[in-house]
Amino acid sequence: MLTSPSAIRTLVVAILVGSSFCVSRPLSGEAAESSSRVAAATPSDVPEVVRRDWYFRESLRAISDWERILAWWENHTDVPLRTPTLPVPATGVAVEWPNPIPAALLPAPDRNRLVRVRSVRNRTDVDFLLSGGDRSTRTVDAKETIVGYRHPGGGGRDRWNHEFRRRFDGLTTFRPVAAPFAVRVHRDWDWLPGESRPNVRVENVSQASIDLTARVTLLAIVREPGKEDAVRAVHDEKFSVSLRPGASQELPLPKLTAPGGTVLMVSYEVEGETWWLPLLAYVEDVAALLENVEKLAADSRHSRDGGDEGALMNRLAVVRRRLSASPAPHGLAWRELFEETSRVRDELLWRRIDFDSLLFIKRKPFISEQPFMDAHHCYNRPGGGIFRLSPVRPDGRAVSVVDSLGPGIYRDVCLHWEADRLLFAFGNGLDRIRETTGTAAIPDGPTDYDIFEAAIDGHGLKRLTSGRKNDCEPLYLPGGKVAFTSDRSEHYVMCGSDIHVANLFTMSADGTNVRQLSYNVFNEFTPALLPDGRILYSRWEYNERSVTSLHKLFAIHPDGTHPAPYYGNATIRPSVAMFGRPVPNSHKVMALFTAHHGQTHGPIGLVDVLKGGDGSAPIFLMTPGVPVCGERTEDSFAGWFSDPVPLDENTYLCSYSPTAVPWHENTWAIYIGDRRGNLALIYRDPEISLAEPVPVARRRVPAKLTPSDAATVESGEAELLLLDAARGLPGVPRKAIKSIRILEDLPRKSVPHGGVISMSATPVYTAKRVIGTAPVEADGSARFVVPANRNLYFQLLDSRGREIQRMRSVVALKPGERRTCAGCHEPRESAPPNLPTLASRRPASRPSPPPWQTRPLSFRRDVQPVLTAKCVRCHSSDRRANRVILTDDLTDQFTVGYEELVPYLNVANAKRWDHPDDVESRPPYTYGSNASRLVTLLDAGHHGAELSDDEWLRLTTWIDANGVYYDRYESVYPDRRIFTGEPRSALEGVHERRCRSCHDEGKHRPAGGLDARWLSLNVADASRSRMLRAPLSRAAGGEERCPGPVFESVDDSDYRMLLSTLETLSKRLSVRPREDLPLASDAEQRSGASLGDERARSEGRGAGSPAADPSNPRETRRQRH
C-alpha cells in the first residue's frame, strides 16, 4: 500500500511538533561512509550470560523512555500512519526487515532472527528465520500488517484482561509496500554516543535512476535542570538523493549526546509515494548507575565488619574521573564505563553471599488468575525440577537434586535447619485447564499436589502425603512435625466457582497424624516460621469487607492457637502481602506485595511491625519503580519480582523477570538485590525460568512453643475474655454496651451451579449463624464460651439488642483455648488495662441463642413471618398508595418483601473493589439496626405497627447480619434464579407486547432484567401474582393498577399465557423447591442436612459434593481417584 503525499506530510508535521528547526540539503552520491557498527567491550573475566543480562535489564529503561516518546508521537499522529512501511522491490529482490531494536537490547536467542520479504508478480512472501535454524514462509495480503518481532519486554494482557500496553510493539510491525529502492540496515546495528551510528543505506534496485527525498527526525526526552522533562524533535533534516540503477547511499544520522531512549523516524519519498521506518536507540545512564553503585559500596563497607572494599571503590573512582573528563567519553569508551560500573556492582553484591551452594527450581511461571490459586488449584505448564548451584555465581555448576517424578510442577522447597534434607511439593492443579492448554482434556501427569522429602543430594526420596487432596507449602517445625497448606477441609472460595480453599495443617514427620490448624473459610497460603516459633502466613478474608483488598500477613501458634493479624488487616494497599519471611538477626519481615487479580509477582519490601500493624509506615520498598497494586496488576516498567529470601535487612535473593508480561517461559532468573534497587544475576537458564532460591546453610532453630493442654483438646469449646468493650470506640460510653453477639461465617462446602452463588441482595457472600449473646459488665468486660474451630465474629449491642459496632474480621479458637482481647478496634500495640475486670471474677457465660436456636439465618423463615403478621395487611399489592410491598411473593432470586426492604438498610460491602470504607475500621453506628432507616421509621411509630420483643429481635438481628437472605450455599437452580429458560421467554414476550411502556426502567429493574414488582410469583396461588392482578380489570376480579387496564378479562390470550406459565413454574417449585421455600428447608434444617447433601447421598456421593459433570475435568479427577 502506498501512502499519499498529503499523508506523509501529516506524519512529518506530527513528528516536528515542538521542533525548533528543520534543514534541507542535497546529499552527494559519494558521501563519506562511516561504519556505525562498534563492538562493545567484553571484559574477559565476565561471563557472557552476565553481560547480556545487563543489557536485557537496561531494555526496561529504554522501553520506558520509548513509551513516553511514542505517547507524545501518537497524540500527534493519525492511527493509519502509525504502522511502518517497508520498501519492497517489485523486481523480486529480497530485503531484510530492519528490527528497530538495537542488537544489544535483544535477548541472545533473538539476535539471529531474520525476516526477509520478497515480492514477485503481485505476490509477497515473508520468510521468518528463527534462532536454531527454524524457518517458516507465508504469503501475505497487500494490506496486511506483519509482526516482525515481539520483544519479551513488550505488552500483553493478563487473565483478567488487564492490559500491559507497549507502544513500541507497533514499531516492530510493518506493512510491505512495493518500491523502486531498498533500505539496508546491518542486522547487528548499534548506536553509541558520539560518532558511532548505524549504517542505513538506500539502494536503487530499479532499472532507472531515481530521485529520493529522505527525512531523518530524532525524537528524545529533553531533560533540563529546573524544567519539566519534555519530548521534542531534537534533530530534523531532509536530504535529496539521486541514485543510478544499482547505486546505494548511506544516510548521515545525528549523534546521540545524552543518556536515555530516543526514537529515529526515517521517511522516504519517491515521485509522491512515501515509506517510513523507525530505529529505537538507547544510551546507558552511566552517571545514575554509578551514583547507585557508589551508595552500594558505602553500604557494603559499613556492613562487612571492617571488610575492605577499597579496590572496588578505587575502580569506581576511576569511572567517576573518566566520566567527568572533557571531552566526555563516547562510543566504545562510554560502553566500557557502563560495563565496568556494572561489574563492580555485581561483585559488591556477590560478596554478600556467604554460603557455598544454593537450591532453586526450574519451572515455567504460574499463570493463574490470582495469587492464592497458585497455592493449589490451577493447572500450570509442567516441567523442570529442583537443582543445586555451586559456587553461587552465574558460571557455577547446577546439578539436579530431584527431577525424576515425571511431568508436573516442583514447588515450595523448604530446607531443614541442619541443611541436610528438604521438603517440597510436586504435582499439578486441575482448574483452568482450558485457559492454559486450550482443551478441557486432562494432560498426562498428576492432578493434585503431594509433599515429598529428600536428602540434600536427592537421595532417600519419599512421599509423605498422597490422595486426591492438594497438599503444598510444607514447613519444618521445631520438635519434628511438618506444617503445610491443604484443601483437605473441603471448603470452596466464596466468590468463585469450584476453587478450593487452603488451610493450615500439621502432620508427623512421616506424614501421619494430620491435624487441621486453622478454620478460615476464605484462604491461607505461603507459610513461614518466625524466630519466636509462630507460623507467619498470608490469609485472605472478606467478612463484610472488601473481597479484593485483604490478603495480608497473620501469625498463629503451631498448635493452631492464637491466630492474629501480623500486618495489614486494615490496609487497602498493597492488596496482597505474601511470601512473608523473617529477616535474619532482625525483628523485621520481608514480603512480596501483589494484586488481588494478579499472579505471584510485584515489589519486595520490609515490614517493621514496631512502626505499626497497618498502613504505609511499617513498609520499606526495596525494588524502586515496581508498583504497589490494589485489585488489579498495574503496569511495571521495572520488571517483576517474586520469591524473596532475605539475607539481612539490606540484601535479598529473589526470582526476577525484566519484562512487563510476567508469564514468559524463560525470562525469570535468580538474582541478589539490595535496598537501593541494585541487582546482580546469580543464575539464568536460557531454556526455562527459575524460581525459589534457597541458600544451603545451617540456620538457628526457631523457638518451640509449648502446645495447649492435650486434656482439653477435645472439649469442643474455647473461652474469650474481653477486658473493655469501649476501648477503641470513640463516643460510646461503657454504659451503652449491654451485650455481645457471637456470629459465625459458615464455610461453603459445595459447588452450586454457576460457581458463585447469591446469598443476598446485599453485597456479602456468606451464610450466617447466630451463636448467641453474652452479657457485658458495667466496666465493659465480658467473658464467655464459644464453639471451637468455627469462623466467629462479634457485635456489640445496646440495651435493645441493636448493633453499636461490629467486627469485620473472623477468628477461630482451638478447643480449650483461652483468649483475651483488650478492646474493640483499639490499636493492637496498645497495652491492656492493668486492673482486674468484673467478668474475669466470674465463670464464663454461655451465649443465649436466638429463638431459632443455631440454625443459619434465613430471611424467609425467620423474618418474613414478622412482615406477614405486622406489615402485609397494609403493604400488599392491592393497596394503591403503597410504595413498598412486603409480601412473600417470589422474585427471580429472593422475595418481593426482601428486595423492597434492602434499600432501607445500612450494610457493609464485601463486593466493592478497592474502597477504603470496606477495608479500614469504621466508626460505631455505621452499619446495622441503629443505622437503619427501617428501624428509625418503626421507632417513630408507623400506622400502629407494634412489634413484640421476639419480632424486634428477629428483625434487628437480620439487619445486623447485613441483611443476608439464604441460609445455605447449595442451590438446585443456577444462582437461585427461577425465571429462566422457556418460562422466562414466554413472560418476556408478554412483557414486550403489553407491559414494557411502564415496566422498563426504574429503581425496581435490575440491569438487563425485568421490573422485580412485575416479575414475581405467588407460589401459593399463581393467579394472585402481581403480574396478573395489577393489570387485570376490577370487573374481572383484578386490581386494575395499570393504565388501561391491560387485561379486560381473564380470557385475554396474554393473560392466560402468563397464568399458565406461572402455574407451571409453581408446580416445578413444588417438586424442586428453591432453597428458601418451606419444603426445601424445614425437614432438612431440623436434621442438619441440606438439599445438596440429600441429593449427594441419593447419588452415592459425599455430602456437599456437586453433581458429576463429565465435561468438568475436576469430575474426571474424582472418578480417577
> CATH no. for residue 254?
2.60.40.10
Of 901, 894, 966, the closest CA to residue 932 belongs to 901
Of 883, 1062, 870, 896, the closest CA to residue 965 belongs to 896
Partner residues linked to 25 by β-bridges: 239
| Residue 519 φ/ψ, nearest 5 degrees | -130, 30
The alpha-carbon radius of gyration of the chain (Å, integer) is 35
Three-state SS sequence of 893-918: CCEHHHHHHHHHCCCCCCCCCCCHHH
Q: CB-based contacts of 203: which residues, under 8 Å, 6+ apart?
A: 181, 182, 183, 184, 243, 246, 247, 248, 249
Is residue 243 in some structural domain? yes
Is residue 548 in some structural domain? yes
C-alpha cell at 80: 493509519
Torsional class of 898: left (φ above 0), alpha (ψ -120 to 50), beta (otherwise): alpha
**β pairing state of 604-607 and 85-89:** unpaired
| Residues 203, 292 within the same domain | no
Q: CB-based contacts of 2: which residues, under 8 Å, 6+ apart?
A: 177, 178, 273, 274
Of 156, 58, 145, 37, the closest CA to residue 107 belongs to 58
pLDDT on residue 1010: 59
Cα(595)–Cα(603) distance, integer angstroms: 10
| Residues 929, 1062 within the same domain | yes
Contact 449, 466 (CB under 8 A): no
C-alpha cell at 804: 453499636
Is residue 631 in some structural domain? yes
Of 87, 29, 98, the closest CA to residue 245 belongs to 29
Average pLDDT of adjacent 10-residue blocks, the chain of 1121 residues: 39 37 39 33 72 95 97 92 94 93 89 91 89 84 92 83 87 96 90 85 94 96 92 95 95 92 97 96 96 93 61 94 89 94 97 97 84 67 95 98 94 97 92 68 82 98 93 96 94 78 95 94 94 96 87 95 94 93 98 88 96 95 93 87 97 96 92 97 96 97 81 71 92 96 92 72 93 97 96 97 95 93 72 83 96 94 96 82 87 94 93 86 94 95 91 97 94 90 91 81 46 84 93 92 88 95 95 86 42 33 36 37 32
- Polymer length of the chain: 1121
Angle between helices 981-990 and 1053-1071 (to 10 degrees): 160
pTM for the full predicted model: 0.89
Cα(61)–Cα(55) distance, integer angstroms: 10
Determine how many CB atoms are found less than 10 A away from the CB of residue 842.
Answer: 12
- The residue out of 841, 871, 891 marking a domain boundary is 841
pLDDT on residue 23: 38
| Residues 270, 311 within the same domain | no
Cα(552)–Cα(566) distance, integer angstroms: 8
Q: How far is CA 648 from CA 209, 347, 589, 653, in A?
A: 70, 18, 10, 10
| Residues 431, 337 within the same domain | no
The CATH number given to whatever domain includes residue 778 is 2.60.40
Which residue segment(s) compose the domain that 1018 sits in?
A: 859-1071
Q: What is the dihedral of CA 1098, 1102, 1106, 1111, to 10 degrees?
A: -100
C-alpha cell at 208: 532507472
| Residue 641 φ/ψ, nearest 5 degrees | -115, 155
- Cβ contacts of 295-302, under 8 Å, gap ≥ 24: 295/676, 296/345, 296/348, 296/349, 296/674, 296/676, 296/678, 297/344, 297/348, 299/650, 299/674, 299/675, 299/676, 300/348, 300/351, 300/352
Q: How far is CA 426 from CA 374, 456, 484, 1066, in A?
A: 13, 16, 13, 51
Cα(617)–Cα(94) distance, integer angstroms: 61
Residue type, 221: I
| Residues 957, 1105 within the same domain | no
- The residue out of 841, 871, 906 marking a domain boundary is 841
10 Å CB burial of residue 632 (0-12, 13-18, 19+) is middle
Q: What is the dihedral of CA 917, 921, 924, 929, to 10 degrees?
A: 60
Is residue 794 in some structural domain? yes
Is residue 57 in some structural domain? yes
C-alpha cell at 323: 566520566
Residue type, 1003: K
Judged by DSSP in three states, 485 sits in strand
Residue type, 952: W
| Residues 836, 874 within the same domain | no
| Residues 623, 756 within the same domain | no
pLDDT on residue 912: 86
Is residue 896 in some structural domain? yes
What is the total count of domains within the chain? 6
| Residue 875 φ/ψ, nearest 5 degrees | -90, 60
pLDDT on residue 1098: 30
The dihedral built from the CA positions of residue 86, 87, 91 and 94, taken in this order, carries a sign that is: negative
Of 148, 192, 242, the closest CA to residue 40 belongs to 192
| Residues 263, 372 within the same domain | no
| Residues 835, 864 within the same domain | no
- The residue out of 319, 350, 381 marking a domain boundary is 350
Is residue 1079 in some structural domain? no
Is residue 832 in some structural domain? yes
Q: How far is CA 73 from the centre of its chain?
A: 32
Contact 113, 175 (CB under 8 A): no
Of 215, 176, 189, the closest CA to residue 279 belongs to 189
Partner residues linked to 400 by β-bridges: 387
| Residues 515, 575 within the same domain | yes
The CATH number given to whatever domain includes residue 369 is 2.120.10.30
**How big is the CA angle at 529 (ends 528 and 531), to the nearest 5 degrees?**
145
Scored b (16 or more CB within 10 A) or e, 1085-1121 reads: beeeebbbbbbbeeeebeebbbeeeeebbbbbebeee
Contact 467, 404 (CB under 8 A): no
Judged by DSSP in three states, 25 sits in strand
| Residues 754, 660 within the same domain | no
Location of C-alpha cell 501529516: 10
Contact 977, 892 (CB under 8 A): yes
| Residues 638, 534 within the same domain | yes
Q: Which helix (H) or strand (E) holds 803?
A: strand 803-806
Cα(558)–Cα(707) distance, integer angstroms: 8
